[in-house]
Chain A
Amino acid sequence: MFKKLSAVMLGALASLNVLAETAPIHAFVESRCIIQTDMAGTYGNPNAYTLSTAAEDGGDPVVIRFDVTLADSYYAEITAPQEFSTSPIINEVMTWEGDTTVKTVSDATGMGEYETNKVELGMLDRYDLIATGSTWFETSSKVALGGDKAFPGGDYTALVTAECIAK
């Protein structure tokens, strides 16, 4: 009887001495693909029902720079806007157009064919970033209000989305 009791008590004491520890392992991975807006765009207003970033319409296209330090590891996906992020209330249907092109490269041999080899999926343009260096992409946007109605007065903002997608 005494032996059993002792065994039970030892078991209880042993269970009190069990400790758990967790040790964190930290890491910081610096991205090998950095996106920067070199120039924010502006819409020109060539007529009452059109907003355009084209220079001839008085606008400026968006210029986005991709800096890649690891070759053949990323896609650049740039999507022209299809709606306003801020604007007065518009009840009419809008027609959006947008396109992205390679404006400038830092390596003619490695990046010269980016524009030729790009893949277009609607408003999204995908580029295979096979070379290291910087590439400047220019995105244009044009929106027209349906029925040739005039845009209401106010501030309008549309966003171009640029992403680095790892392969």
Chain B
Amino acid sequence: MALLLPCYSYSNSVVPYYGTTGNAVVDNNLVWDMGNVFPAPPGLTVQNVIYSYNIRKSTEDRVDVSVQNENALGEGYVFRETDSWLPGSLDNTEINKAVPVMNLPKEVWGKGSIEVDGNGSVENANVAYTYRVDPCYDPQYSPSCPGYKVPIPEPVQVEYDVYDADEHADDTQYSPDDDSLEEEEKETEEEKEKREAEEKLDSKERLEKALAVANTNLLFANSFAQAQMLDSVNTATRMNAYYSTSIDGGTYKEELSIQDKQLPDSYKGLRNGLAQQVLHEKMVSMQYGN
């Protein structure tokens, strides 16, 4: 189980991978374009340049051979390795060399070439590059990449058909119905002038009404706003008195007391009751015709 744990975490993360290009030297010109050499993924860095060739020279000659790549982002070379074949080195000796480079990104690798300085040449040239690709160079490559952000979907662009009143201003003069167009063509000049005058008058009246309604609405809105404002001011005035009043603490004892032990009848009530009785008797007597 302990052995499986590292494997599990390894498989869940996006790890860099390594590779080697094919032979960059495609012809006897000994010049190559790097665009065709490296694979496409971003985040590629070159780790080593591995090259080999056979030197062709006379034993007594000195020949300097340089394997190089121009700097694609500036001047000079990003890589240049020179082999000096001194007098005494034999013809057709092969060199096989691996030169580490400091993980240079592929963007800086410009045109490559093998340059021969001296009375000699090279054969069977082979130049390859070992590289490392970090898929997480773009953090959005995978949710496992550090710095990954959950993508927010782009809002759908809805194409609205916007009505342009100016564009269709003249359309109001016409009816979509072909018959009405024909009828309009049949109108006489006099009828046409009359109709246009009426329409003009109607239009003016409609405008006046609209303005009047607008003014009324505006006045009503202003009055309503002012009433609300006054009401809020009055409310504040009424309530502030309560907020500022303080009541003294302590005990408030009841002071009301009844001293009489018997409550006598009211003389006024007695008089009222007698009057009622007299009235009652009078009404009864009236039933009997007295």
What residues of chain A have their CB less than 8 Å away from a CB belonging to chain B?
102-109, 112-113, 115-117, 134, 136
Measured between beta carbons, the chain B residues less than 8 angstroms from A112 are 84-86, 88-90, 93
Closest 6 CB pairs of A and B: A112-B89, A108-B83, A104-B94, A113-B88, A109-B84, A116-B88
Candidates A103, A106, A109, A134; contact of B86 at CB < 8 Å: A109
Rounded to whole Å, the gap between the CB of A51 and the closest CB of chain B is 26
Rounded to whole Å, the gap between the CB of A134 and the closest CB of chain B is 7
- Interface of B: prevailing SS: strand
What residues of chain B have their CB less than 8 Å away from a CB belonging to chain A?
52, 55, 59, 65, 83-86, 88-90, 93-98
Measured between beta carbons, the chain A residues less than 8 angstroms from B65 are 108
Give the CA-CA distance A115 to B89 in the complex, in Å: 7
Say yes or no: A104 contacts B86, CB within 8 Å. no
Rounded to whole Å, the gap between the CB of B220 and the closest CB of chain A is 99
Give the CA-CA distance A116 to B91 in the complex, in Å: 11
**Nearest residue in A to B52 (C-beta to C-beta)?**
A104
Give the CA-CA distance A134 to B96 in the complex, in Å: 9
Rounded to whole Å, the gap between the CB of B120 and the closest CB of chain A is 11
Question: A113-B89, A116-B59, A116-B89 known; A105 and B84 CB under 8 Å?
Answer: no
**Nearest residue in A to B96 (C-beta to C-beta)?**
A104
Say yes or no: A103 contacts B95, CB within 8 Å. no
Candidates A105, A109, A113, A115; contact of B96 at CB < 8 Å: A105
Say yes or no: B93 contacts A104, CB within 8 Å. yes
